[in-house]
Amino acid sequence: MCGIVGYVGDQQCAPILLDGLKRLEYRGYDSAGTAIYDGAGIDVRRAVGKLRNLEKAIDEAKPQGSVGIGHTRWATHGRPSEVNAHPHLIGDVAVVHNGIIENHLALRARLVERGATITSDTDTEIVAHLIDQRVREGADIEAAVRGALGEVRGAYALAVLSAKEPDRLVVAKSASPLVLGLGEGEAFCGSDIPALLPYTRDMIFLEDGEMAVLERGKATITTLAGAAVERAPQRIDWSPVMAEKAGFKHFMLKEIHEQPRAMEDTLRGRLDRENGDIHGLEIGLSDEDARGIERVYLLACGTSYHAAMTGRYLIERLAKVPATVEIASEFRGRDPIIGPGDLVVAVSQSGETLDTLIAAKEAKSRGAKVLAIVNVIGSAIPRAADAAFYTHAGPEIGVASTKCFTTQLANLLMFSVWLGRRRGALDADQTRALVEDMARLPHLMRDVLLGTRQLVANLAKRYNEARDVLFLGRGMSFPIALEGALKLKEISYVHAEGYAAGEMKHGPIALIDSSVPVLVLCPKDPWYERTLSNLQEAKAREAMVIAIATEGDEEVRDVAHDLVEIPEVRTELTPFLTVLPLQLYSYYVADFKGTDVDQPRNLAKTVTVE
């Protein structure tokens, strides 16, 4: 994980580096550091813990200089400590790194044999030694980095500063994200777009196996082998304000409330209401391709996996194509039977999740076509895929994914309708009706958020002492139950489980007693009657039952202890609405507990390790 940032220009770079690191802190927050060329040498400041500790150190030391690099860390090799924090300064060379150097132990042994003193437990320090060695032998910094990377195996996004050539930074990338930004007389690098947004919107995405020399207003890109690469900057239309908290206490709460807007942006230009169809999907498939698909494989992790699970229901229901969903990290290891005729849909907010990236590449290498449903433009998964169908949720900063989940659902629904229409599983009237209903989603979501917010906050307050919480749902509500449990676990550290409601009697029912709140998703859908029976079974075991049900459902009102109502919508739209009170519930429980909602312990926003 980790976040890196770099600046070369004429402004004082300490505030720019700190600002970039603040925006990257979601990627890791166990220590942070900066290296700035101050005219005489490289000034390194490092601090363990949250970024405010580094901020304090910099405030005291006030390093001066207009070229520098910074890092926020999520430990992979070596515990969080100052000595393991980046940047690593060896001789005249400072390095920040995101990724894992797989052969670091062998390289470490070789360096020690040659007399190097290695002070940290990190793989990054090894790279710094390899570069420094070459600089001491007379190589310029670009050649030294190129040479060192020739010895290294693994994943990296690196930024390197040398006191011998203080007007430039050298950066390189392999399997970890790195974005370059260009401004008037200045250049930047960062692990993602929001880190650079306040300074420039002109960005270049470095590809794997490439490096670049950043100088004032200029980025010279080459392959690791030294071949020149021409790549013009892309203009990014996210505004910096989209990455601020906008008055909300936490990014997560802001992002929950942004969902109607994110939905509008994601549906815009894709719902053809005039002709009652879906159009303009960047999915790289012709109508004929759509008819030729034999099976859809959905691959994802975490919350995106729950979206993919919902996608399976949508694809089978609306397009009548067999669909399989799999946790990306499990896919590769089992030698999957997949090939031409299969369409793989890789779902990811960040587009950088290594498990999903590897699974998508594996599927592609076996002849399947890969479609990426991703939020971050130009990230690794869409680059590895045959086509990218972006959600337009804007930057998601809270580690707990919310608006990206519902916009992933939107893309999966649009794709299913498009596919169903092309394959003749949906006729013109059915398609038109679906399109009309989808167009109402932003408005419906806004109503649910405003209408349930206070009630859910009260419930969260009432039940926030519970040590265990169950979430139950059937059919399309099953993945939503899983998602509700994941949200609660990750930000409030409360033990929560999501179950298929019908599975409860096969074991989990033993967990139930009067201390366990059970949230039951029972909207009016094809599974309603059976879910209601499960709700009653939970109540009979003295659970505190909170039902998320359709407005006006008197039957549920009579049985449940608490009722959160959502408007009546067609089955395919229920997940978009039922998930909203669950997101709010986990948020308020966590907030009452006083946990670090946006940066929960042990987690990172983007998981670029296997």
Closer residue to ligand M6R in complex, CB, 401/534: 401
DSSP 315: I
List strands edge to edge, sheet with 342-348.
Answer: 323-327, 295-300, 342-348, 369-374, 387-390
CA 42 to chain CA centroid, Å, is 34
Are residues 54 and 47 in contact, defined by beta-carbon separation less than 8 angstroms?
yes
Closest among 520, 307, 271 to 403, alpha carbons compared: 307
| Residue from the set 98, 120, 259, 348 that interacts with ligand M6R by CB under 6 A | 348
Closest separation in Å from C-beta 355 to ligand M6R: 8
461 is a catalytic site residue: no
Regarding 36 and contact with ligand M6R (CB under 6 A), the answer is no
Closer residue to ligand M6R in complex, CB, 509/603: 603
Closer residue to ligand M6R in complex, CB, 370/556: 370
Regarding 353 and contact with ligand M6R (CB under 6 A), the answer is yes
Sign of CA dihedral 393, 350, 247, 488: positive
Closer residue to ligand M6R in complex, CB, 191/606: 606
Regarding 496 and contact with ligand M6R (CB under 6 A), the answer is no
Regarding 191 and contact with ligand M6R (CB under 6 A), the answer is no
Q: What is the C-alpha to C-alpha distance for residues 172 and 156, in angstroms, rounded to an integer?
A: 8
Are residues 178 and 4 in contact, defined by beta-carbon separation less than 8 angstroms?
yes
Q: Which of residues 288-347 bind ligand M6R (CB under 6 A)?
A: 301-304
Closest separation in Å from C-beta 393 to ligand M6R: 11
Residue 306 Cα distances to 267, 483, 493, angstroms = 20, 6, 19
Q: Which residues of 25-39 are buried (b: 16+ CB within 10 A; e: fewer)?
A: bbbbbbbbbbbbbbe
Residue nearest to ligand M6R (CB): 302
Q: Which of residues 548-607 bind ligand M6R (CB under 6 A)?
A: 603, 606-607
Of 2, 189, 301, 404, catalytic: 2
CA 135 to chain CA centroid, Å, is 37
Closest separation in Å from C-beta 293 to ligand M6R: 23
Helix (H) or strand (E) holding 297: strand 295-300
Closest separation in Å from C-beta 396 to ligand M6R: 9
Closest separation in Å from C-beta 602 to ligand M6R: 11
Q: Which of residues 389-428 bind ligand M6R (CB under 6 A)?
A: 399-401
Closer residue to ligand M6R in complex, CB, 397/548: 397
Q: How many residues of this chain bind ligand M6R (CB under 6 A)?
A: 16
Q: What is the C-alpha to C-alpha distance for residues 471 and 485, in angstroms, rounded to an integer?
A: 6
Closer residue to ligand M6R in complex, CB, 131/496: 496
| Residue from the set 356, 431, 452, 574 that interacts with ligand M6R by CB under 6 A | 356
E strand map for 30-185:
31-37, 42-48, 67-73, 88-90, 93-101, 154-162, 169-174, 179-183
Binding mask 506-545 for ligand M6R (x = CB under 6 A): ----------------------------------------
Closest separation in Å from C-beta 352 to ligand M6R: 7
CA 169 to chain CA centroid, Å, is 27
Closest separation in Å from C-beta 28 to ligand M6R: 13
Q: What is the C-alpha to C-alpha distance for residues 201 and 205, in angstroms, rounded to an integer?
A: 12
Closer residue to ligand M6R in complex, CB, 411/606: 606
Q: What is the C-alpha to C-alpha distance for residues 98 and 606, in angstroms, rounded to an integer?
A: 11
605 is a catalytic site residue: yes
Active-site residue list? 2, 605
Residues that bind ligand M6R (CB under 6 A): 301-304, 348-350, 353, 356, 399-401, 490, 603, 606-607
